[in-house]
Amino acid sequence: DGVLLLIWGYFLKIVVADRAALFVAAVYAPESEYEGWFYIIATLLFALQLYGDFGGCSVMAMGTAKILGIDLIDNFNAPYFSQSIAEFWRRWHISMGTWFRDYVYIPLGGNRKGLAIQLRNIAIVWLLTGFWHGASWNYVLWGVFYGVLLIFEKFFLLDQLKKAPAIVGHLYTLL
């Protein structure tokens, strides 16, 4: 089982991510002469590249651990099939999200101490998630962006997404 996981992880990394990266890098290169639809395709392939890189790395870690007799949790659970941003983050990099939930969000009071505390806790978790990715402004702003988006979704959009056809939620999440 461990060897099969390693092979799948290598496939995701080498075949999916690295091949997509060639096209993405060519289109987004400063000297690129591509235009129009090429940027849309490159952006979609970049999403595939990210999944192949992170998912492949996680699967390879799971395979290596399995060979050593250690069972790790599945770190990705079809995140691109999510119907909301909140669901996406529950399915993408599960170990990181679980850690932030268990060791930051819940100890701060989670959602059990009123709306203001819940909003503060979401903001803190996502600010820290940005720092976790890297101590530079682009990562901090990335964390703030997702914190704001998740707060907006939770209080203004989630009910509408639940009532809408599944494809609406999928498209919203992917966009």
Residues 20-51: tens digit of each pLDDT: 999 999 999 999 899 999 999 999 999 999 99
Decide: residue 159, CB within 10 A, 0-12 exposed, 13-18 middle, 19+ buried: exposed
Can you tell me the mean pLDDT for 80-97?
94
Q: By three-state DSSP, how is residue 112 classified?
A: coil
Residue 173 has a pLDDT of 92
CB atoms within 10 A of CB 23: 16
Can you tell me the mean pLDDT for 74-80?
92
What confidence category does residue 135 fall into, taking pLDDT thresholds of 50, 70 and 90?
confident
Q: How far apart are CA 89 and CA 20, in angstroms?
A: 23
Supply angle C-alpha 151, 153, 156, rounded to 5. Answer: 100
Residue 110 has a pLDDT of 92
Residue 81 has a pLDDT of 93
Supply angle C-alpha 14, 16, 21, rounded to 5. Answer: 85
Residue for token digits 């992880």? Answer: 9
Residue 61 has a pLDDT of 96
Per-residue tokens: 127: 């600010």
Residue for token digits 């009532």? Answer: 163
Residue 156 has a pLDDT of 87
Q: Is 170 a catalytic residue?
A: no
Does the pLDDT of residue 158 top 90, yes or no? no
Residue 161 has a pLDDT of 86
What confidence category does residue 19 fall into, taking pLDDT thresholds of 50, 70 and 90?
very high
The letter for the amino acid at 110 is G
Element (H, E) at 38: helix 37-67
CB atoms within 10 A of CB 43: 12
Of the residues 19, 90, 120, 133, only one is catalytic, namely 133
| Residues 8, 51 contacting (CB under 8 angstroms) | no
Q: How far apart are CA 82 and CA 89, in angstroms?
A: 9
pTM of structure: 0.87
Q: How far apart are CA 35 and CA 121, in angstroms?
A: 42
